Amino acid sequence: MTDGWARVNGRLSPLDEAAIPATDRGFQTGWTVFETALALDGRIPHLDLHLARLAASCAEALVPMPAGLADEILDVAGRIPGRAKVRVQLSGTGVRVVMAEPVSLARFGAPVRCVRGPLAEDPFLSGAVKHGSRAGWMAAVERAGVDDVLFVDADGRFTEGTTCGVIAVVDGKVYAAPADGRILASTTVTRLLEIAEEQGIPVVRQGALAAGPWDGLYIASATRGLAPVATLDGEALPSGEPVGRALLEGLARAMEQARL
């Protein structure tokens, strides 16, 4: 049992009792788009950016974007005290699922295990679409027994991960791949780069070389914040470099201010 809540086509229920139609072609085939955000005591920082990104995914994947979605999101988020993971998933046939469930504080900034993998671009949808057809990605994570696969492009640079953005610190500079249509425009990466600039840390909008070296390698997501990569392809990486620590502390402060 979980303490979460969900609305399926507007109908509220405990998360464990929520159900979608078994015949829905969108969920049967992965013809869905989704968005994930972190709620803090019912507040969702930058909800407008999440909705804009969801609307862009809907437009490209030909999925209807319903009206009044923000109200449903805030309703389920407001039912969970503290930190909550909020997920919206929309089907090409019009089914909508809005859910929220508690997320552990221990996840924030905790080290992760990753492997490298090749970036394979979809010929029909751009990488900026957050769609539900991710069976290959999930199988790769399970097969490797890690938290995430970090994708490497033809130039040998990191782009993004299966559930995250990728940030590297090299010679005191923060590297992150540009949101150029090949990858999702991560709201967490965007906020971390803003924090870096506020602190006077140089930012390079280019993926770091996947072969290294780096002062530190991290993944970024709504629920993990900025998490250091402890092992990459089974090899232990150094930890504790100061730039990543400063970014994580800055993000924690920004999240605390968002509660107020």
Q: What is the pLDDT of residues 158-205, one digit of tens each?
A: 999 999 999 999 999 999 999 899 999 999 999 999 999 999 999 999
The CB density around residue 136, as the number of other CB atoms within 10 Å, is 12
Is the preceding omega at residue 14 within 30 degrees of 0, hence cis?
Answer: no
Helix (H) or strand (E) holding 6: strand 5-8
Any idea where the domains of the chain sit in the sequence?
Answer: 5-103, 109-259
CATH class of 5-103: alpha beta
Per-residue pLDDT of 106-152, as tens digits, reads 999 999 999 999 999 899 999 999 999 999 999 999 999 999 999 99
**Size of the chain, expressed as the number of residues it contains:** 260
Predicted confidence (pLDDT) at residue 39 exceeds the cutoff of 80: yes
Give, in order, the Cα–Cα distances in Å from 171 to each of 77, 202, 241. 40, 10, 11
Topology annotation, domain 109-259: D-amino Acid Aminotransferase; Chain A, domain 2 (3.20.10)
Rounded to two decimals, what is the model's pTM? Answer: 0.94
Please give the pLDDT value at position 1: 52
Whether the domain at 5-103 and the domain at 109-259 fall into the same CATH topology = no
Model confidence pLDDT, tens digit, residues 87-104: 999 999 999 999 999 999
For 101, list phi and psi in degrees, rounded to 5.
-145, 150
- The predicted structure's pLDDT at residue 260: 53
